[in-house]
Amino acid sequence: MADGGDTEGDVDDPLNKGCRLISVTDLPSITPAGQNLKEWLQEQFCDQPADQCEDMRLHNSAHVGDLNTLKSLLEEDGFKRRINEKSVWCCGWLPCTPLRIAATAGHSDCVDFLLCQGAKVDLVDVKGQTALYVAVVNGHLDCVHILLEAGANPNGSRHHRSTPLYHAARVGRHDILQELIKFNADVDVDYQLGLHSAPSAPRTLSTLGLCPLYITAAYHHLPCFRLLLSAGANPDYNYSGPVSREALARSPASCLLDAVLTHGCQPAFVSVLLEHGADPYLVPWEEPEPEVAGRRRVEPEALHVYQEARRCPRRLTHLCRLAVRRAMGKPRLGHIPSLPLPEAIKSFLLHLD
């Protein structure tokens, strides 16, 4: 299945929820076998030379969630100056800031305290991961909320291959997805597509798998699929503007609707995509070809919904709703419930009718 990056391998494993509460004094010392590698990582990627970073109590406290030790250490000027320092720590090989470490482990009280003490919310590690990104990957909703409230970029960092929203969509975390959208995460964001030198250059569809909306369909997360579309996700993602027709012939799916059908998604996926404006004529086939039918798992009822959309013109009310939502733009769709309009109109604009 397509993915936006090696997300699981990029972050440290969260703490075992069943383990006993530990403090800094319980942590193991570095073993001789690992000492040379840690020293090399320290030398290559850490903010300070190894001889100036021997005291890792600040980073270790963040790892185990020892808030009392954090408070005690940050009363000292020496540790206050190191609050944003990236360093190798007791149980990790990747040089990180204390905030990044606490967010990975899900210690929300430590995350909140570090931010109040001046930790920079959007610093990245050597892999381009922000504290928000690792909090999302490890499923820590409370940390996600705290970091977003503190001003974290909901789209993560351009230096990383994936985004917080993409990962939440991929694993079906509707609650985290909702939180990111509330703080204006771009539901169509794809940093790799932004690397094109010329906006008018033909865009191939080989990047469809990096679309958050696509990945929710590929993993059959219908509530997340609905949420993204409701927040303004483009139902014809990567099909606006010039397109390389040669690439279309080689691509496993020419558009999102094509992908939804060929992934064997439920009819509801097709219906909601069409309701939000997907163009059925972008799919290069009306009937699955015989030689393809065995390989593709097109759901018969979903296929029927798609074929009916091709044969029947759209209702005027449907076109009006699409036009109003398009005129409002993605950033304003969340304000529809507060508009001075009848409830029936608001429900109609929100696709709740």
DSSP letter for each residue of 302-337: HHHHHHHHHHSPPPHHHHHHHHHHHHH-GGGGGGGG
Instruction: Name the 3-class secondary structure at 180.
Output: helix
Question: pTM above 0.95?
Answer: no
For 34-39, the CB contacts below 8 A with 24+ separation are 37/93, 38/88, 38/93
Q: pLDDT digit of tens for each residue in the chain (353 aa)?
A: 444 444 334 444 433 334 344 444 444 444 444 445 445 445 554 545 544 545 788 999 999 999 999 999 999 999 999 999 988 766 666 788 999 999 999 999 999 999 999 999 999 988 899 999 999 999 999 999 999 999 999 999 988 888 999 999 999 999 999 999 999 999 987 655 444 444 445 444 446 777 899 999 999 999 999 999 999 999 987 665 545 556 555 556 678 999 899 889 999 999 999 999 999 998 888 887 665 544 557 899 999 999 999 999 999 999 999 999 999 999 899 999 999 999 999 999 999 97
Q: Which residue has the tokens 């381009």?
A: 128
pLDDT of the residue at 207: 60
The dihedrals phi and psi of 322, each to the nearest 5 degrees, come to: -60, -40
The pLDDT of residue 188 is 87
Domains of the chain, CATH where assigned: 1-186 (1.25.40.20)
In 58-91, which positions are buried (b, 16+ CB within 10 angstroms) versus exposed (e)? Answer: bbbbbbbbbbebbeebbeeeebeebbebbbbbbb
Do 164 and 178 touch, CB atoms closer than 8 A?
A: no
From residue 319, give the alpha-carbon distance in Å to each of 141, 274, 342: 37, 11, 20
Q: How far apart are CA 348 and CA 343, in angstroms?
A: 8
CA gyration radius, the chain: 24
